[in-house]
Structure 1
Amino acid sequence: MSTDFVPQPQNDDRFLEEAIDLLLFLEQELPNYTKDSNPGTALALMEAARSLHSIAIAAELDAIAIVAAALEEIFQLLHQYRATVNAPIASLLSEGLDCLQMLLMAFLTGSQIDEVEILERMSAIVARLQAEFGDSQETNLETSIEQPHESEKAGEQGVGSRGEKPPIKG
């Protein structure tokens, strides 16, 4: 299902300014983190993803909020377990950031994008990360993709498919 992002003037300028700053931060810091696995960088990435999640909810951009929440959880786990980022994990983190970039660029340019496809891609990334982390750490990353957070219910009438959330397979 393609969705036309329809900017909402009252939220548009502030959302775009903050979202672009947060995306740039994520883009700049992710390569540093994948090189040194610094827990402080993981924490900063987690906080940036959390901020992006919050502003996406306020702007009623559900797909962006869901992907940002998934990234937040991933960075939280990496920080919590002081995980060392190997090549497969680094690649998956980069793919997750790509999902976020595609959604934000579609919003920025007013382009059509298949939100369901992006969310399914993010769900697959989460599943592959789950496999990389292994069962020993008892992670549950699927939560943010399958079940939106309580705070997202305020923005349940997402842009494009007002009132409908696509079913996401985990």
Structure 2
Amino acid sequence: MTFKNMQALILSLCWVLNASAAFACSPPSPDYKAPALTDQVKQNIRQADAIVDGEIVRVSGYDQKNKKEIPAVLKVNRILKGPKIQAFFLRIPGGGCEIGFRRKEKVRLLLSESGGSWAALETLNLPSPALSGSSGTHLIDNRIPYARLLDKQVGLPRSADTAVTPEGL
């Protein structure tokens, strides 16, 4: 296998694995009829406790020695909705519904608050389904149109260096 073929195979595999992770939280049932993307965006904006543009300065993890979660840290650049906070400590919610990040990644996130802690949930930051299409057809990635509709609804485009979807997805 040539280097280019191997590279294409690896990139394709990475895309499929990332795309399949988008379904890890709650895959839709076969008879599920998702609302239009515009309706999903409006509903998610209403449900979000905060909408921010920022940069991930620390990724989340788990401290084995102290047996505790290490939250991701999001340094805020712009607050579109929510409290005036300079940094959010993002907990890892149970059930596999969290979004993975990369350090120094610039993101626009819809955040959920519960008991004083914050989370970036897939259910607020991704369309449902993230990928669509019937068997035997090409899958359609709904994440980019969703992000564009989100930008339109909040009334501010994201900066050119801000990810359309977090790298972890």
TM-score of the superposition, structure 1-length normalised? 0.23
Q: Which has the larger radius of gyration?
A: 2
By relative contact order (CA 8 Å, sep 6+), the higher-ranking structure is: 1
More helix by share: 1
More strand by share: 2
TM-score of the superposition, structure 2-length normalised? 0.23
